[in-house]
């Protein structure tokens, strides 16, 4: 009796490449010096993140800046001074945070980064397409992406320590995004009242109590 042909798996001698699962775990480089059996570096894996809407880990793509469309109802504003800071950060550290777009090149998150990239005369930027989101989810995420980050705070002692060590190492600490007055308050006199930093990018003078925009 003849054996039936296998319908699954890769046939011997076939030139067809095996399919790669779209939700496969993404390898993360092991810490320097870590080694497993045989002296080879160990590999750690991040499991794919799945939600009701997301199919899993999404790939980065390069998109031409002139093809990206800003969201007309974006409630987040960007001053020229802030755009210049973002541009300085990109110039120093690279484009480390991709722009989030829908399936039609509409910007969901990253309007400021795109403006900064234009200032730097960049032709393309890395993007992640969130085409799986519904129209309502896209509109909500435009707000959530900016609002959720505002709930973070600062540990003043650790911040002062980090800024001081960066300054002593000769690094331009203006690239951290803090203004001159903020840096002076944190680093010049440890007994001087610290400027109260708000997430609206304003400061309150410890002497007169007046609020001003940074």
Summarised one tens digit per residue, pLDDT across range 67-79 is 999 999 999 999 9
- Residue 129, domain CATH: 3.90.1530.10
Q: How many structural domains does the chain have?
A: 2
142 neighbors 106 (Cβ within 8 angstroms)? no
- 69 shares its domain with 130: yes
Q: Give the count of alpha carbons within 13 A of 42, CB side only.
A: 8
The sign one gets for the Cα dihedral 176, 177, 180, 181 is: negative
- Considering the entire predicted model, what is its pTM? 0.63
Say how many C-beta atoms besides its own lie within 10 A of residue 15's C-beta: 6
With respect to residue 170, please indicate whether it lies within any of the assigned structural domains: yes
Q: What is the pLDDT of residues 149-195, one digit of tens each?
A: 889 999 999 999 999 999 999 999 999 999 998 898 888 855 555 55
- Looking at every residue in the chain, the average pLDDT score rounds to 75
For residue 194, the enclosing domain spans 156-213
């Amino acid at each position: 009796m003849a054996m039936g042909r296998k319908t699954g798996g890769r046939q011997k001698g076939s030139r067809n490449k095996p399919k790669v699962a779209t939700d496969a775990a993404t390898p993360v480089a092991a810490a320097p010096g870590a080694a497993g059996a045989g002296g080879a570096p160990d590999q750690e894996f991040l499991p794919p993140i799945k939600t009701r809407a997301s199919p899993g880990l999404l790939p980065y793509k390069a998109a031409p800046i002139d093809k990206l469309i800003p969201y007309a109802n974006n409630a987040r504003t960007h001053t020229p001074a802030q755009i210049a800071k973002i541009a300085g950060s990109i110039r120093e550290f690279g484009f480390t945070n991709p722009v989030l777009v829908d399936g039609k090149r509409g910007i969901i998150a990253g309007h400021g980064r795109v403006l900064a990239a234009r200032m730097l005369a960049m032709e393309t930027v890395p993007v992640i397409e969130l085409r799986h989101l519904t129209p309502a989810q896209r509109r909500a995420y435009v707000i959530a992406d900016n609002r959720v980050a505002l709930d973070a705070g600062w540990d003043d002692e650790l911040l002062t320590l980090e800024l001081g060590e960066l300054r002593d190492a000769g690094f331009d600490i203006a690239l951290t995004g803090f203004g001159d007055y903020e840096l002076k308050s944190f680093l010049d006199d440890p007994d001087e009242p610290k400027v109260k930093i708000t997430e609206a990018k304003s400061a309150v003078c410890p002497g007169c109590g007046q609020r001003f925009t940074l």
